[in-house]
């Protein structure tokens, strides 16, 4: 095994071992120390993996079980940064949490165990070169994150966790049926049975078109429930709203694009069997459907975390469109969009902690006039909404422009026009929420600096430095291929 493969395997192994160790450690302080100690090396190893994957994109590490390519490596880097920030902010959340699903005996140990196991599974999914292994890892994220969604023990949290568990498990059951149909297609083609992406791609020309198309649709429809694409997104607003803020950040910024990457790899593996245009049209359908469903909710006055959840639905639609267009410029825009969305969305959920202290009503009502009570919290909240709306110089404005131009170059101008209209409407809704949240008429605000403001501010500064650095590295590293995609797409 090469050094690159060893480091890639170590990325999910560190939080996995730390989570298992915490399960047997008594005492809150010990659990926190182990969790925090594991966060730094995991983030460093993830960053190294991302740099290697991007710098050697022409020579990806690809086998039957381990895959380190440019897209997967970049996503591992994003998950590493967001996960480390979420672990670092967890003591702040737990210090203010008064209720726990696990009771008062060992809530911290159980929380950190579930958090680290969830993070480890998220890091492993982009590195899995086998579709069957990826399915098992996605199922593992469901089990760990469902406990975290229900962590508060409140009736609404338990209901949200139950809805999340049932709907996503049902979706993964449909995806499992797709795997069985794919195996049947391979058997009828007379080739070897295998779920490695390379094996599926090699067998593609010999597969029966109808069986391959059925398998493809079952796989994408099943994964759509986990990605949060409309119309199977119903769990997403409730789970994001009720989960602890650090967990919500991982759900939105890491889980959704991670499962979307698996869908993208399925599309690449089955494109020859299904037909390139047909395989991309499924992504275009889910992209437009997600944008169309998200816009009316973005125009409504929603509680802070619920607003961010519907914004996630919108941005997963944008990423789906970029993959559906498929050109070099659109795909480069997808990578930029994933990094930019992770930055803005994670900060949005982190700031929910001081926001609840400044204005407790934001748990179930829209945020209004936050800057009047606390300027720092208002500034962070306003910056997040501005970035998510795509206000320049937000990286999401740049990525959406790249995806739109890439769609036009790919000959999908009608889809681009519809998408731009929907994005413009979503932009107006988020801008209205931004104005109300920052400068609206305040009600029920508490004066004074919230106790959770300082760690959230530190996390915000760290994310603002690390994630743009990752995006810049993707553009600047020799051989990353993204700068060539920009040149080719604009030429």
pLDDT in tens, 317-347: 999 999 999 888 888 889 889 988 998 899 9
Instruction: Quickly list H helices, 189-255.
Output: 197-203, 209-227, 235-242, 245-250
Residue 70 or 373, more confident: 70
Length of the chain: 491
pLDDT score for 465: 67
Q: Check residue 351 and report its DSSP letter.
A: T
How many structural domains compose the chain? 1
> Cβ–Cβ contacts within 10 Å for residue 149, how many?
29
pLDDT band of 366, cuts 50, 70, 90? confident
- Determine the Cα–Cα distance for residues 183 and 402; give it in Å rounded to an integer: 37
Q: Is residue 422 part of a domain?
A: yes
Quick one: pLDDT band at residue 478, thresholds 50, 70, 90?
A: very low
- Read off the pLDDT of each residue in 131-135 and give the average, rounded to a whole number: 95
Give phi and psi for 62, each to the nearest 5.
-135, 125
Q: Tabulate helix, strand, coil % of the chain (nearest 5).
A: 80, 0, 20
10-45 per-position pLDDT tens digit:
999 999 999 999 987 767 788 889 999 999 999 999
Note if the bond before 231 is cis, omega within 30 degrees. yes
| Interval 411-465: pLDDT, tens | 899 999 999 999 999 999 999 998 888 877 766 666 655 666 677 777 767 766 6
Domain range for 332: 275-491
pLDDT at residue 60 is higher than 90:
no
Give the tens place of pLDDT for each residue, 293-325.
999 999 998 899 999 999 999 999 999 999 999
Nearest alpha carbon to residue 337 among 352, 351, 317: 317
Could you tell me if residue 293 is inside a domain? Answer: yes
Q: How many CB atoms lie within 10 A of CB 187?
A: 12
The residues, ordered by sequence, that sit 6+ positions from 323 with a Cβ below 8 Å of its Cβ are 260, 263, 264, 267, 280, 283, 330, 331, 334
Mean pLDDT across the stretch 202-225?
A: 93
Please report whether residue 461 resides in a domain: yes
Task: State the CB neighbour count (10 A cutoff) for residue 317.
Answer: 30
What digits encode the pLDDT tens for the residues 168-195? 999 999 999 999 999 999 988 876 778 8
472 within domain boundaries = yes
Whether residue 27 is contained in a domain is answered as no
Distances (CA, A) of 137 to 81, 238, 460: 20, 23, 29
245 part of a folded domain: no
Domain membership flag for residue 315: yes
Residue 274 pLDDT more than 90? yes
Structural domain contains residue 480: yes
Instruction: List pLDDT tens digits, range 47-58.
Output: 999 888 877 767
Beta bridge partners of 130: 196
Cα–Cα dist 19/360, whole Å: 32
- Residue 462, judged by CB atoms within 10 A of its CB (0-12, 13-18, 19+), counts as middle
Would you state the pLDDT for residue 154? 86
Residue 337 — left, alpha, or beta (φ > 0 → left; ψ -120 to 50 → alpha)?
A: alpha
Please choose, from the candidates 9, 35, 7, the residue with its C-alpha nearest in 3D space to the C-alpha of residue 21. Answer: 35
- Give the pLDDT band of residue 380 (cuts 50, 70, 90): confident
């Amino acid at each position: 095994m090469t050094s690159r493969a060893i480091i890639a395997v170590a990325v999910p192994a560190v939080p996995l071992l730390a989570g298992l160790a915490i399960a047997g450690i008594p005492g809150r302080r010990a659990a926190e120390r182990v969790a925090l100690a594991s966060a730094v090396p995991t983030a460093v190893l993830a960053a190294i993996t991302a740099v290697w994957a991007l710098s050697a994109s022409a020579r990806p590490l690809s086998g039957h079980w381990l895959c380190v390519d440019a897209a997967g490596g970049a996503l591992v880097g994003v998950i590493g940064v967001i996960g480390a920030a979420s672990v670092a902010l967890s003591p702040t959340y737990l210090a203010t949490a008064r209720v726990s699903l696990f009771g008062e005996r060992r809530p911290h140990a159980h929380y950190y165990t579930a958090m680290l196991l969830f993070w480890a599974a998220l890091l492993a999914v982009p590195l899995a070169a086998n579709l069957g292994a990826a399915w098992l890892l996605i199922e593992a994220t469901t089990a760990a994150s469902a406990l975290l969604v229900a962590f508060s023990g409140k009736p609404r949290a338990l209901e949200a966790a139950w809805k999340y568990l049932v709907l996503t498990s049902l979706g993964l059951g449909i995806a499992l049926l797709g795997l069985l149909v794919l195996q049947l297609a391979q058997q009828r083609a007379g080739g070897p049975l295998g779920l490695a992406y390379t094996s599926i791609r090699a067998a593609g020309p010999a597969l029966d078109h109808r069986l391959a198309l059925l398998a493809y649709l079952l796989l994408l429809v099943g994964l759509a429930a986990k990605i949060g694409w409309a119309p199977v997104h119903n769990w997403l607003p409730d789970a994001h709203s009720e989960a602890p803020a650090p967990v919500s950040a991982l759900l939105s910024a890491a889980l959704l694009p991670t499962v979307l990457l698996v869908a993208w790899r399925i599309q690449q593996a089955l494109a020859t069997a299904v037909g390139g245009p047909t395989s991309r049209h499924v992504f275009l359908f889910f992209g437009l459907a997600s944008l169309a469903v998200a816009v009316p909710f973005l125009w409504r006055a929603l509680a802070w975390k619920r607003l961010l959840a519907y914004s996630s639905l919108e941005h997963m639609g944008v990423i789906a469109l970029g993959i559906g267009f498929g050109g070099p410029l659109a795909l480069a825009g997808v990578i930029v969009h994933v990094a930019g969305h992770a930055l803005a969305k994670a900060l949005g959920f982190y700031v929910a902690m001081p926001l609840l202290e400044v204005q407790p009503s934001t748990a179930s009502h829209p945020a209004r006039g936050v800057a009047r009570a606390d300027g720092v919290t208002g500034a962070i909240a306003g910056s997040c909404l501005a970035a998510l709306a795509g206000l320049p110089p937000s990286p999401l404005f740049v990525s959406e422009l790249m995806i739109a131009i890439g769609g036009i170059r790919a000959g999908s101008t009608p889809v681009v026009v519809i998408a731009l209209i929907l994005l413009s409407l979503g932009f107006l809704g988020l801008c209205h929420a931004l104005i109300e949240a920052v400068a609206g008429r305040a009600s029920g605000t508490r004066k004074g600096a919230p106790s959770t403001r300082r760690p959230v501010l530190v996390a915000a500064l760290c994310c603002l430095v690390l994630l743009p650095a990752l995006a810049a590295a993707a553009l600047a590293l020799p051989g990353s291929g993204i700068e060539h995609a920009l040149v080719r797409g604009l030429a």
